[in-house]
């Protein structure tokens, strides 16, 4: 497996899909309503990546297998913190035809190698509670739970 900087064409096809998926996840989590979710997701992405692939301290990578086929991608932000450099994974995806084959773990391990070279001491991420497959992968790679956000819907009768 190879990890390489994402090219502009891949970024342009990634962005609208990522915005839609993020909007849907925020709805499913109960954070946003459907009628506002796409607009809010678009605004968040625009604020986080104002210069697209050239946004300072944001790195978007593509994962490729030995046949040069696209396996997936990752978007990470690197920042200086009081305890050293840290990275936050904003998005990581493995293409649907490559899921459940160990590529996600390999991809994240490849990212770790790059981040260590960048003197990053800690990697963090957010995962939606309904994404049990991702939670399993992160647990198996040694990620620790650091916060819980919990909600209770009051408009549903029990």
Give the separation between CA 119 and CA 139, rounded to whole angstroms.
23
Q: What is the pLDDT of residue 131?
A: 79
Q: What is the pLDDT of residue 158?
A: 54
Cite the beta strand spans of 43-105 per DSSP E: 58-64, 70-81, 84-94
Residue 124 lies in a domain: yes
Residue 31 lies in a domain: yes
CATH of the domain at 128: 3.40.630.30
Where does residue 25 rank: exposed (0-12), middle (13-18), buried (19+ CB within 10 A)?
Answer: middle
Number of structural domains, the chain?
1
Residue 150 lies in a domain: no
Residue 48 lies in a domain: yes
51 φψ region: left (φ > 0), alpha (ψ -120 to 50), beta (else): alpha
3-state secondary structure of 36: helix
Q: What is the pLDDT of residue 6?
A: 96
Residue 151 lies in a domain: no
Residue 75 lies in a domain: yes
Domain housing 111: 2-140
Residue 156 lies in a domain: no
Where does residue 19 rank: exposed (0-12), middle (13-18), buried (19+ CB within 10 A)?
Answer: buried
pLDDT (tens place) for every residue of the chain, 158 residues total: 899 999 999 999 999 999 999 999 889 888 899 999 999 999 999 999 999 999 999 999 999 988 888 999 999 999 999 889 999 999 999 998 888 888 888 999 999 999 999 999 999 988 877 778 888 888 888 888 887 777 767 876 65
Residue 146 lies in a domain: no
SS3 per-residue string spanning the chain: CEEEECCHHHHHHHHHHHHHHHHHHHHHCCCCCHHHHHHHHHHHHHHHCCCHHHCCCEEEEEEECCCCCEEEEEEEEEEEECCEEEEEEEEEEECHHHCCCCHHHHHHHHHHHHHHHCCEEEEEECCCCCCHHHHHHHHHCCCCCCCCCCCCCCCCCC
């Amino acid at each position: 497996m190879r990890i390489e900087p994402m090219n502009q064409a891949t970024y342009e096809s990634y962005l609208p899909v990522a915005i839609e998926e993020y909007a849907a996840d925020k709805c499913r989590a109960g954070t946003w309503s459907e009628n506002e979710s796409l607009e809010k997701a678009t605004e968040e992405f625009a604020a986080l990546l104002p210069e697209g692939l050239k946004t300072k301290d944001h790195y978007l990578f593509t994962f490729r297998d030995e046949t040069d086929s696209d396996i997936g991608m990752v978007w990470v932000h690197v920042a200086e913190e009081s305890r050293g450099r840290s990275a936050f994974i904003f998005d990581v995806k493995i293409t649907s035809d490559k899921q459940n084959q160990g590529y996600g773990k390999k991809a994240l391990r490849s990212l770790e190698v790059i981040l260590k070279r960048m003197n990053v001491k800690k990697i963090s991420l957010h995962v939606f509670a309904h994404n049990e497959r991702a939670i399993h992968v992160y647990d198996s790679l040694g990620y620790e739970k650091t916060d819980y956000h919990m909600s209770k819907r009051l408009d549903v009768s029990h």
